[in-house]
Structure 1
């Protein structure tokens, strides 16, 4: 198997730059019509998040952006906010320090601390910390999976699990193949760091609703990673469902499906109790 080809998401999507530009444009449009504020969850500039409030006692959608851990920003990750705020959910878009300036261990730690900030502070914005649904796409899907998995919550004073459900889009859940690919040029993973940052190798919660999805034009490895992780979640006792891909959907535009009418949006709303 040519692992470099299998894990090269951009090569599957000729219009990738246009789609990525739309991430920022749609987020700007959301901020133009919604109340929102930027908040800090840590001491460095990248440790921030955007909060889009809803009514009192609202479930919370925490979204983590992709970009293979080295690109994009929370300013590119609010396209789903109008739909979920309209449905009665508070939306939080998480930012984090990018590789190679940050190791994956640090990026994961930042996302965990962002979730701890949500638990401690989201009630001020109308959100219910007991109804946090974490979501992410691509690298963000991996990071959301790391928040779903267990073994770290007690150190931050959080319950285990610290989320009530998850939506994982085109994520990577077993990172052990990555040190042998071009991705390691900026990630610098060794076998140990790849293993400890693999949600599929960590304790998984039971009893939670988890929505998974990938684009129709994804490579076989991206699809396999999602299907395998869904199987592991079911074995742990989660209600894990893989949403059938929208025709002609790809690794990058699947993010828009989260905030638009259709199977992925509806599945996530059901999982959140909306």
Structure 2
């Protein structure tokens, strides 16, 4: 009896192990059927996006994936690719957006113009790929979280008054090709630029990005800071890893606090994990972000 029980336990353990290995080695749901289409939205090599589409005929909304990297050129859209694949595998259309960064023609104001133009490109692609633009959600990580929340406030930009902003940054209407975001999931986003500058995050990343300090360019910094645009008219989930030592959790806390006080639909969520757990498709922290995106697309 003891020998039979021992053999049964060994067989059960082997079955569990084989199942775990099989699950780890197999792709995500329908990931092998994801279709990819790359498009330029401008002439610069960094002005492009890649559309990831699920096998289903009608995607469940559109997600704009905006990568981070403290707005610096050494970090690119490859950071967002695993997320875009995963989102498409779960039935959503995902637009993995590249943009000019500080060091390759970006920074002020080009990064901002690129993000808006990249989002607006979806208007040209909607008919071809059956995209429903009544629900367009941005998923942005780190500096990409900043750009996502900033872009969601585009209707309010004209009132912020940056003197050297061009029309691309202040366009507001729904009738001129502008695609409006209907929700944002910020993943450890840099959402309080004034505080980020004071803390000298990533060795002066904010001043490097905006071409100078807030003392030198106060209106420019105000225009670029998501804190200036609260309250937004769209829901924002500010998700932050409790072990993040790259972007302090206070960045999400102060934004969410200000937005809530102003009556905006915002929710702060602290999840276990570090800065990069939020963009690891295998991590629970990322899966929570995907769940929030799905909620916003309903």
Q: TM-score by structure 1 length?
A: 0.77
2:111 aligned with 1:107: yes
Alignment partner, residue 137 of structure 2: 133
1:147-178 CA distances to partner (integer Å, 9 max, x unpaired)? Answer: 1113234278256x811111001111221244
Return the alpha-carbon distance in structure 2 between the equivalents of residues 81 and 214 of structure 1: 20
CA contact (8 A) 1:234 1:240 kept: yes
Pairwise CA distance, 1:35: 0.9
Q: How many residue pairs were aligned?
A: 240
Pairwise CA distance, 1:128: 0.9
Q: How does 1:212-227 map to 2 (within 5 A)?
A: 212-219=238-245, 222-227=248-253
SS of the aligned residue for 1:92 comes to strand
2:226 aligned with 1:199: yes
Pairwise CA distance, 1:92: 0.5
> In 2 relative to 1, CA 218–97 (structure 1 residues): closer, same or farther, beyond 3 Å?
same
> In 2 relative to 1, CA 203–243 (structure 1 residues): closer, same or farther, beyond 3 Å?
closer
> In 2 relative to 1, CA 63–242 (structure 1 residues): closer, same or farther, beyond 3 Å?
same
Alignment partner, residue 280 of structure 2: 256
Alignment partner, residue 35 of structure 2: 35
> In 2 relative to 1, CA 126–258 (structure 1 residues): closer, same or farther, beyond 3 Å?
farther
CA contact (8 A) 1:123 1:129 kept: no
| CA RMSD between the two structures | 2.8
Pairwise CA distance, 1:221: 6.5
Return the alpha-carbon distance in structure 2 between the equivalents of residues 178 and 93 of structure 1: 26
Pairwise CA distance, 1:179: 4.5
SS of the aligned residue for 1:99 comes to coil
SS of the aligned residue for 2:38 comes to strand
CA contact (8 A) 2:152 2:184 kept: yes
Alignment partner, residue 15 of structure 1: none
Alignment partner, residue 189 of structure 1: 212
CA contact (8 A) 1:80 1:258 kept: no
Alignment partner, residue 235 of structure 2: 209
Pairwise CA distance, 1:241: 1.9
Alignment partner, residue 162 of structure 1: 180
Alignment partner, residue 66 of structure 2: 64
1:64-94 CA distances to partner (integer Å, 9 max, x unpaired)? Answer: 0001101322233121234322332100000
Pairwise CA distance, 1:31: 8.4
Pairwise CA distance, 1:57: 5.6
Q: Which runs of 5+ in 2 are unaligned?
A: 1-29, 158-169
2:297 aligned with 1:272: yes
Return the alpha-carbon distance in structure 2 between the equivalents of residues 59 and 144 of structure 1: 17
